[in-house]
Amino acid sequence: MSKKVLITGAVGMVGQYLVKKCIDRGYFVRATDIRDNGVFTNICEGHQKQFEFVKADLRNFSKCKEVVKDMDVVFHVAGVKGSPKRAMEQPNDYFTPILQFNTNMMEAARLEEVEWYVYTSTNGVYAPADRMREDDVWKSFPSDNDKFAGWAKRIGELQAECYKVHYGLENISIVRPANIYGRGDNFGKDSMVIPSIIKRICDGENPLVCWGDGTPTRDFIHASDVADGILLCYDKKITEPINLGSGNGFTIKELVETISDVYGKDVPIEWDLTKPNGDSIRLMDTTRANGYGFYPKVKLRDGIKEVMEYYNEK
């Protein structure tokens, strides 16, 4: 097997796709997550010798050192996923854990002298802008709607820069994905917009009541495409941050109508103008990623159909 790869946050959406793609490449995969590993039964069928799962809480530095031992590459995709509402009302659910496992994991990988490390940041590091460009991050501040998680992720990026200055290390890639969705998404009360709307439509909410006026514009990317972008960073040894997104915006109204259309039944939609819209526009500039050959493969409608089928299978 050509490489030994550690994937953190492996039970999450991006992690599941990364596990499968790395196994398909012939890598040995050590997957780790704080959650149980039942999702890998089918993914790893016939490839048991290429895979092992280690349940670990990466807020504990000793666990980080344990899981990274003897690995060549680390794909760090562990994160805390939840709704903007939860991020504003319960910010420490994001801030402290993100700081802990990001700092611990990168330091453990440095001590183990891994060959390459890919750090998964977020579009939340940016201020609202018509186009979020990689080099503009440190010219502004994260939106108040993403302040705590955004700053926590920024610290991880700063840690990578610190290692370059202090140790001369240039073996870290940074990816900043747009709004991620896909199979394995969270459909609970703190879910993001796509799984939340899918759940409510499929569960028969009538009328479907949505916050704001539907005009905010967002960039969405399928988890499989994010996994491809992470692997591209490793393959090409990219050391400058890159955005992973479609580069195309969809208003929340267009998104809700697309989900309703995929559902196939007429769903009355009402907009609650007493509720906040959030930032008016959050779009990724994908010029740099395109220059490296990255173009998402999964169209929004196709991805929504897949997620809806996944939800109805649950």
Q: What is the C-alpha separation between 21 and 16, in angstroms, rounded?
A: 9
Nearest to 22 by CA among 200, 217, 227: 227
Q: How confident is the model at residue 71 (pLDDT cuts 50, 70, 90)?
A: very high
The Cα angle at residue 27 between residues 46 and 48, in degrees rounded to 5: 25
Tens-digit pLDDT profile for residues 96-112:
999 999 999 999 999 99
Given this model, what pLDDT does residue 1 score? 56
Q: What is the CA 2 to chain-centroid distance, rounded?
A: 26
Strands annotated E in the chain: 4-8, 28-33, 51-55, 73-76, 116-120, 129-132, 172-177, 179-181, 208-211, 217-218, 220-222, 242-244, 250-251, 269-272, 281-284
Domains of the chain: 4-181+221-246+282-297 (3.40.50.720)
Q: Compute the mean pLDDT over every residue in the chain, rounded to the nearest whole number.
A: 93
pLDDT at 279 over 60: yes
Judge whether 142 and 150 are in contact, CB under 8 Å.
Answer: yes
Q: What is the CA 310 to chain-centroid distance, rounded?
A: 18
Given this model, what pLDDT does residue 292 score? 98
* 74-88, 93-107, 283-297: segment of lowest average pLDDT: 74-88
Radius of gyration of the chain (CA): 19
* 38-52, 238-252, 292-306: segment of lowest average pLDDT: 38-52
Q: What's the DSSP call for residue 134? A: G
Tens-digit pLDDT profile for residues 176-210:
999 999 998 888 877 889 999 999 999 999 999 99
Tens-digit pLDDT profile for residues 108-149:
999 999 999 999 999 999 998 889 999 999 999 998 888 999
